[in-house]
Amino acid sequence: MREVDMIISKGRILLLDDNDSIIKDGSIAIDGDSIAAVGESVDIESQYTGRRKIDASGCLVMPGLINCHTHAAMTCFRGIADDMELMDWLNNYIFPAEAKNVDPDLAYWGSLLACAEMIKSVTTTFCDMYIFEDETARAAKEAGIRCLLGEVLFDFPSPNVKTPSEGLEYTRMLIEKWADDPLVNILVEPHALYTCSPTLLKDAKALADQYNVPVATHLLENRGEQEQLQKLFGVKATHFLKDIGYLDERFFAFHCVCMDDEDIKIFADHGCKVVHNPESNMKLASGVAPISSMIKRGVVVGLGTDGCASNNNLDMLQEMDTAAKLEKVERLDPTVMSARTVIRMATCNGAKVLGMENHVGSLKASMKADIIILDLNKPHLTPLYNEYSHLAYAVNGSDVDTAIINGTVVMENRKLTTIDENEAMAQVRKIAERIKKSLEE
């Protein structure tokens, strides 16, 4: 018998491997930050004893969800302005509110609140773009949640940096500072092709290549952007990206609503990945990304909520439900975007988008122990014919009881073990008072 730190026992386990294996009575041995073994309960429990044991009978056990696109600190702006034209929303609410209010304090507390919300709705890894990302890294580290973070880069000054080169230097600092961290990973994130000069874009790519980290950006979010870029470059955005050497396996893009077949082929040919943000694309009336075509062509697609000002929550389970339903109604085909497809987008394929597929997104020995446990004993989850169906179409963010990240129990019986959520809420409420005042001025 080998003694390990923890055993999750007698759960219904979704491995999210290539065969969509489900172990009806399974257990997982966890040692340190990793999975030592996963298998039938009889096998695991005859080979391992756990210093701690979590009884998962009657529960669904699976990899934690991966939110591939957030602006975490924007929890501070949740619901500040809805139901508006994009440019009205941005120019009269979001941009002024950010310019006047974003500082390290907001970035830290807004991110910590986001971490609390994400863990409570089963996300265990997130990919973030915002300002003062060192504060987001600090919050994530404290919360014990895995992340891939980048400082937003653009041509104009931000509350954090005055020039594009300061932005690049700040990103370099992040890369070096967090290089060996078990939870925090850094990428390079130019905001978009319409907010970054070609020089900044190329410098950003060079920095990413130097450190072998990913690059990600907003791309072709709506028709207006598509037309703007065509005018700006005289060629299609994907051609422009190809010409400046952006397209490789370390590049992924958010939204990609306005991609045609040729754009998709270019992405597929170069191994570029896409992050789908259906709720934000709907709320801002951006359009519907051609996700089933992308998947058919072999593009790996992950799922993200986007920030709280355009969603307005970070609930990946609702996002899966919406992703499946939106694609069906848009294509007038109920067979596209199955429950299985959206669940893989939110787990193993999300991990591939972030370049983390060897660590997270599925359950097997040697992977990091990022695991969630959902209680199925609830009216809205009864009866159970099919686990994938429940996850995609019936579960909500409040159904998770226990979350383990990197071998640490970060939530148990819905209580966070790493964060004082009341303090985080109180601090964000104070920040919101300041934001409200600033908009009245």
> Which parts of 370-409 interact with a second copy (CB under 8 A)?
377-380, 382-386, 389-390, 392-394, 396-399
Helix axes 133-143, 164-177, angle to 10 degrees: 20
Q: Which stretch binds a second copy (CB under 8 A): 192-200, 324-332, 362-370, 405-413?
A: 324-332
Look up tokens 């409570």; give the residue.
120
CA atoms within 13 A on the CB side of 355: 17
Q: Segment 78-97, which members bind a second copy (CB under 8 A)?
A: 78-80, 82-86, 89
The correct pick among 312, 349, 406, 418 for binding a second copy (CB under 8 A) is 312
Residue 214, number of CB atoms within 10 A of its CB: 23
CA 152 to chain centre: 16
195 binds a second copy, rule: CB under 8 A: no
Q: Segment 337-356, which members bind a second copy (CB under 8 A)?
A: 337-339
438 binds a second copy, rule: CB under 8 A: no
Q: Segment 9-68, which members bind a second copy (CB under 8 A)?
A: none
15 within 8 A of 347, measured Cβ to Cβ:
no
The correct pick among 151, 319, 321, 370 for binding a second copy (CB under 8 A) is 321
The correct pick among 42, 206, 329, 365 for binding a second copy (CB under 8 A) is 329
Distance (Å, whole) CA 107 – CA 376 = 36
The correct pick among 60, 140, 360, 432 for binding a second copy (CB under 8 A) is 432
Q: Are strands 251-255 and 215-219 parallel, antiparallel or unpaired?
A: parallel
Distance (Å, whole) CA 133 – CA 362 = 27
The correct pick among 269, 333, 420, 423 for binding a second copy (CB under 8 A) is 333
Determine the 3-state secondary structure of 254 from DSSP: strand
Tell the smallest beta-carbon distance from residue 326 to a second copy (Å): 6
Burial group, residue 230, by CB count within 10 angstroms (0-12, 13-18, 19+): middle
Q: What is the DSSP string of 117-159?
A: HHHHTTEEEEEEEESSHHHHHHHHHHHT-EEEEEEEE-SS--S
* Nearest residue (CB) to a second copy, 271 versus 287: 287
Q: Segment 263-292, which members bind a second copy (CB under 8 A)?
A: 279, 281-288
314 binds a second copy, rule: CB under 8 A: yes
* Nearest residue (CB) to a second copy, 5 versus 375: 375
Tokens of 44: 């695991």
Distance (Å, whole) CA 136 – CA 351 = 20
* Nearest residue (CB) to a second copy, 206 versus 426: 426
71 binds a second copy, rule: CB under 8 A: no
Residues touching a second copy: how many (CB under 8 A)?
73
Q: Which stretch binds a second copy (CB under 8 A): 128-136, 228-236, 260-268, 329-337?
A: 329-337
Per-residue DSSP letter, 268: H
* Nearest residue (CB) to a second copy, 22 versus 86: 86
296 binds a second copy, rule: CB under 8 A: no
Distance (Å, whole) CA 130 – CA 254 = 14
Distance (Å, whole) CA 218 – CA 148 = 16
311 binds a second copy, rule: CB under 8 A: yes
Tell the smallest beta-carbon distance from residue 59 to a second copy (Å): 15
Q: Which stretch binds a second copy (CB under 8 A): 30-38, 162-170, 403-411, 431-439?
A: 431-439
